[in-house]
Structure 1
Amino acid sequence: MADLYALDFDGVLCDSCGESSLSAVKAGKLRWPDLFTAMDSATEEWIVAQMYTVRPVVETGYELLLLVRLLLEIRVPSTRTSSVAEGLTVDAILESWMKIKPVVMEEWGERNRDELIEFFGKVRDEWLETDFTTWIGANRFYPGVPEALKFASSTIYIVTTKQGRFADALLRELAGVTIPPERIYGLGTGSVYVQD
């Protein structure tokens, strides 16, 4: 019997932090347009750069949306509506995200996790559909990963907390690999347990 491998996607096979951060900024602009009008290009660049640092605290993609808003509140005091932003640092986010997240969700009136997941997915879908080349280009596979997947003699499964359709598109377009859909376990498939 051949070996079977279940591989995590983001941060293991694919560096998708650029795409997910830019998608979160796009989503923030749509979700909270009044707040995000205060964001100039330098602030946006700062937020995207900080997302590379805070990315490890994210369990599910919708949290990226919350993080870009929190980073905006840190950087632009006039946008603050949460009690935690004043004096908050990126290091403090890393240390305390699980305590901060429910506070900001409550204070921002974002009580429906599933709605945020769906909204963030729709923003990604729209970017993928309207500017596929730029969306794909904001991602990259780590060196050697596409070749390893192409020539694997074992059965490969992909496990991801993002919607499987995004992992599938990246595997096909960037890595040149097709993994059967029944072997991609992503958010919304009912097959991946995501801790809340």
Structure 2
Amino acid sequence: MGDLYALDFDGVLCDSCGESSLSAVKAAKVRWPGLFDGVDSALEEWIVDQMHIVRPVVETGYENLLLVRLLLESRMPSIRKSSVAEGLTVDVILESWSKIKPVIMEAWNEDRDALVDLFGKVRDEWMDKDLTTWMGANRFYPGVSDALRFASSRVYIVTTKQSRFADALLRELAGVTIPSERIYGLGTGPKVEVLKLLQNKPEHQGLTLHFVEDRLATLKNVIKEPELNKWNLYLGNWGYNTEKERAEAAGIPRIQVIELSTFSSKLK
């Protein structure tokens, strides 16, 4: 009958870590201008470098802002508003982000929706002013653009990125047009609910279902839902995950850990 692929975007199709880290620094300067007094370009570059290491913990874009501030506070004790950043290392962030995040949100008196809006606004402004540079800070993984262009399967994007950014990158950078009704972005509900919606569409009955992700936690959430037992689950080993997570995934029967080349050939 054919195949349906539900694909995560960041870390599966697109390496957006450069752009999201730079956008997060820009947004953090808007949100907490006082904290960036005296921050030189060398320290900003250090933060962006560290962001590449801690990127696996990010589920939704606004968390990049929190990580930027946390990394800044770890280097500049004088600006700390809480003790969370004291002695903090990237290893601790990778291990304990789910515990750290609510603590700093409360300590810094931050609102999730406000940070989501700010992050989107800063990206929009960057795109409006200088689309070429914004695009250039992103890259599609090798072979992915062609695989999408020539895909014989039915392809959906299921992402926590705001849909307009995923759409712009697909069109402008990858040269691929995916109809907007096939892009489920931030605000369309949890990924498990989107997968339920997709599998229940009348036109999808009889299709073999595949979900490709780079976050192990997301795949584990799918496994918890008996209703989603029909989905074949894949962890992309080229994405934003750690060696420890890949080893754990390899021990879970439902999950296949796959290479980028295997993924591209499956799509075609």
TM-score range, shorter chain: over 0.9
Distance 2:157 2:113 in 1: 22
Q: Is the 8 A contact 1:185 1:191 kept in 2?
A: no
SS of the aligned residue for 2:160 comes to strand
| Greater Cα offset, 98-107 or 183-192 | 183-192
Q: 1:34 maps to what in 2?
A: 34
Q: Kindly state the Cα deviation for residue 192 of structure 1 after the two structures are TM-superposed.
A: 4.2
- The SS at the match of 2:6 is strand
1:72 corresponds in structure 2 to 72
How far the C-alpha of 1:119 sits from its partner, in A, is 1.2
In structure 2, the residue matched to 1:5 is 5
Q: Shift in Å at residue 168 of structure 1? A: 0.4
How does 1:140-179 map onto structure 2 within 5 Å?
140-179=139-178
Query: Which residue number corresponds to residue 137 of structure 1?
Result: 136
Note closer, same or farther for the CA distance 1:193–1:19 as it changes in structure 2 (3 Å cut): farther
**TM-score normalised over the length of structure 1:** 0.95
Residue correspondences, number: 194
Alignment match, 1:99: 99
What fraction of aligned residue pairs are identical, expressed as a percent?
78
Query: SS in structure 2 opposite 1:173?
Result: helix
Q: Which amino acid aligns with 2:69?
A: R
Q: Which residue of 2 aligns with 1:49?
A: 49
In structure 2, what is the equivalent of residue 23 of structure 1? 23
Consecutive unaligned residues in structure 2, runs of 5 or more: 194-217, 219-268
For 2:171 and 2:90, locate their aligned partners in 1 and report how far apart those are by CA, in whole Å.
Answer: 35
Q: TM-score, length-normalised on structure 2? A: 0.70
Q: Which runs of 5+ in 1 are unaligned?
A: none
Specify the code of the residue in structure 2 equivalent to 1:138. Answer: A
SS of residue matched to 2:59: coil
Give the deviation of 1:78 after TM superposition. 1.8
Give a deviation string over 1:54-99, Cα, whole Å, max 9, x none.
0100111110000000000011222211211111111111111111
Structure number, greater radius of gyration: 2
CA distance 1:100–1:191, change in 2 (3 Å): closer
| 1:191 positional shift | 6.6
CA distance in 1, matches of 2:32, 2:75: 16
